[in-house]
Structure 1
């Protein structure tokens, strides 16, 4: 179900698809969704695990920590440049070709950086990692932009497929670092990096096997990256999707930092911190499973605000948890609710983005979400020295402010239509 994005008042939601149509299996989804899940999981595993592989490669070589941080940033910071190449997703005759090229480039440059690091100046692998980072958003938001054409008609089909998409992020975020850690111990960080590079090559093959979808518009009708961002700012639902996504990403990024700082308060040792982050990850996987089995069918715009409030409540729960058992429970609940929120943002991108700029909308929001998450980790690290729970309390407050802003934004948007 598609809701065109326009500036001005939010258009009324179209009538729900009849139950018979909602429940009918979609042939493209039946064939394409399993391939999509494999492709997305493999590509995102490489994208998510690459930073750890590079950091381990540098530190185990005896190089200083600042170089490890610099090369790690070389593959993450360029994600913000992704939207400026994402226009090709909307102009190409076959968007699969663009994503296949991104997977191959990411894998090739990552492998080359790993192999050349011991042999050349760090500048060379640094430049190669920048190239990997630039195409990284095409492995995340870019692949997600293919999902609406695969999932089939009907809101329920789309929402269920978006639950699968959230699961690929959760699985990749869990197994990516795990693979890197295991292979680094059993072999070396270099081999771990090469394994990640190989996974992008396999992902490229599965992307190529996805069902073909025709280009959404003539290339001349596809806006530039700047115009796309302006269009998102002018469209109420997309504007709210953007800032709620960024605020929640910035806020939940404080959870791992707060977990590390909570050892004294919860009377646990540092080894137990991993259980808190694991509870959050498992909660995320449970939330994505819930979004698959029983998808929400409410309007995505309002749903995002409600779920953002729920995430803020979960963060407050982690602040108030006075025992390790309660902390485990609240971290798990935060993971569940964040996955539901993420699924709602994917639905909003899908339903409110105009067809001729859908790929760019997905990549813009994905890239800015990653940037916000990195900023959240940095801010939490700076604030946690004062009080262990301060970052989470401030994060929950920030989400509450953003939700209040979205409510006012929505009300002001409706006012012209009723006068």
Structure 2
């Protein structure tokens, strides 16, 4: 939209960052999700505000100073974490009782991210070509209003706490850091997000290495996206019953291995297969992190923990893309080598930490967190199941 109006690419990138950067502030507004009498209202209002600010920024951009547009987009982005982490934190209420049902719902959640990441850009591109970039952006904003109405159809659950019973954002972060399973979930999520964010950048640059047309990069990214959808379908069809803490470690290792395969692949067809494998592994990993957040988070801070991890994941993804873009000029393989090493290191650290004698004490610390409410959220399954796979 900015470029179509004669604006510079630098301005377009800066305005785009105004939407994603505020996600890091999400945890500081997420406490309301854990204290509201009806969390659906908070999410619905956030969706309305997100869409309104986005639409206002789009409509005012040609007629005002870019700073005004930037402020509106920052306001829009600030509500983003309430929509992503907020909705994911309500999966137990939607799925009902039972670990299997909840993990299948987490597979659906992963699929919605994959579909949104695929269909969204495609829809924007089609509408921009058919009508205009402004029309495409306004359609996205209108989708937020539709979502606000749909959110009200979700099951209602009582507030997990009131007043001082609900920890403040910094205290919630301390809870994550001091709980072994949640801490591992956090740093594995952040490092994997940083690592896989390099793939779209390396896909474009690697086409020259494989001797194919630059447009073939779309095949690599499509293979990753289709693999992600296939992985989420696999979670839905056959949810794992492995302990969530152990599962995230195993699947982070699997993602690291697929990154290594991408780095070592000698031909374009094998690269397509490796990108698809990375998408599958990352979908399984994402679902496992959702399970870990749900099963190890205390009830009175569940939404905040979902938002904390989600906000840091989005930030890490943006940083990973930027880092890959900055390094790709040096060597096509350099970004892949670095992110593969990072993913492997974090996975090995998680394995080592889980084998440390302190593991049992941390596991009991997680078990000693406030007990979940009864049936409405189905969180009696909060304690991890015995390992079966």
Say if 2:342 is the partner of 1:401: no
Q: Which residue of 2 aligns with 1:129?
A: 73
Say if 2:232 is the partner of 1:283: no
**Cα deviation code 1:246-297 (max 9, x no counterpart):** 0000000111111111122111111111010000000000000000000111
Provide the C-alpha distance between the structure 2 equivalents of 1:223 and 1:72, rounded to a whole number of angstroms.
Answer: 32
Provide the C-alpha distance between the structure 2 equivalents of 1:70 and 1:199, rounded to a whole number of angstroms.
Answer: 24
Q: What stretches of structure 1 move > 6 A for 4+ residues in a row?
A: none
Provide the C-alpha distance between the structure 2 equivalents of 1:132 and 1:86, rounded to a whole number of angstroms.
Answer: 15
Q: Which residue of 2 aligns with 1:232?
A: 176
Q: Which residue of 1 aligns with 2:359?
A: 414
Q: What is the deviation of 1:415? A: 6.2
8 Å contact 2:191–2:342 — kept in the other structure? yes
Secondary structure of the 1:60 match is coil
Secondary structure of the 1:268 match is coil
Say if 2:26 is the partner of 1:82: yes
Q: What is the deviation of 1:363? A: 0.3
Which 5+ residue runs of structure 2 have no aligned equivalent?
364-389
Q: What is the deviation of 1:71? A: 0.8
Say if 2:104 is the partner of 1:160: yes
Q: Which residue of 2 aligns with 1:170?
A: 114
Q: Which residue of 1 aligns with 2:16?
A: 72
Secondary structure of the 2:79 match is helix
Which 5+ residue runs of structure 1 have no aligned equivalent?
1-56
Q: What is the deviation of 1:106? A: 0.4
Say if 2:130 is the partner of 1:189: no
Provide the C-alpha distance between the structure 2 equivalents of 1:126 and 1:316, rounded to a whole number of angstroms.
Answer: 39
Q: What is the deviation of 1:416? A: 5.6
Distance 1:348 1:258, change over 3 A: same
Q: Which among 324, 328, 336 is matched to residue 392 of structure 1? A: 336
- When the two structures are superposed, what TM-score results if normalisation uses the length of structure 2? 0.91
Q: Which residue of 2 aligns with 1:292?
A: 236
Alignment of 1:1-400 (within 5 A): 57-400=1-344
Distance 1:396 1:417, change over 3 A: closer
Q: What is the deviation of 1:220? A: 2.1
8 Å contact 2:180–2:362 — kept in the other structure? no
8 Å contact 2:33–2:39 — kept in the other structure? yes
Q: What is the deviation of 1:417? A: 8.9
**Cα deviation code 1:100-127 (max 9, x no counterpart):** 0100000000001111011111111111
Secondary structure of the 1:117 match is helix
Q: What is the deviation of 1:394? A: 1.4
Distance 1:417 1:152, change over 3 A: closer
Provide the C-alpha distance between the structure 2 equivalents of 1:403 and 1:311, rounded to a whole number of angstroms.
Answer: 9
Distance 1:415 1:355, change over 3 A: closer
- When the two structures are superposed, what TM-score results if normalisation uses the length of structure 1? 0.85
**Cα deviation code 1:148-197 (max 9, x no counterpart):** 11111111011100000000000000011111111011001110011000
Distance 1:387 1:210, change over 3 A: same
Provide the C-alpha distance between the structure 2 equivalents of 1:74 and 1:276, rounded to a whole number of angstroms.
Answer: 28
Provide the C-alpha distance between the structure 2 equivalents of 1:416 and 1:345, rounded to a whole number of angstroms.
Answer: 21
Distance 1:396 1:264, change over 3 A: same
8 Å contact 2:96–2:102 — kept in the other structure? yes
8 Å contact 1:90–1:219 — kept in the other structure? no
Deviates more, 1:219-228 or 1:403-412: 403-412
Secondary structure of the 2:2 match is helix
8 Å contact 1:241–1:348 — kept in the other structure? yes
**Cα deviation code 1:363-403 (max 9, x no counterpart):** 00000000000110111111111221221121111111111
Provide the aligned C-alpha RMSD in A.
1.2
8 Å contact 2:180–2:359 — kept in the other structure? no
8 Å contact 1:162–1:343 — kept in the other structure? yes
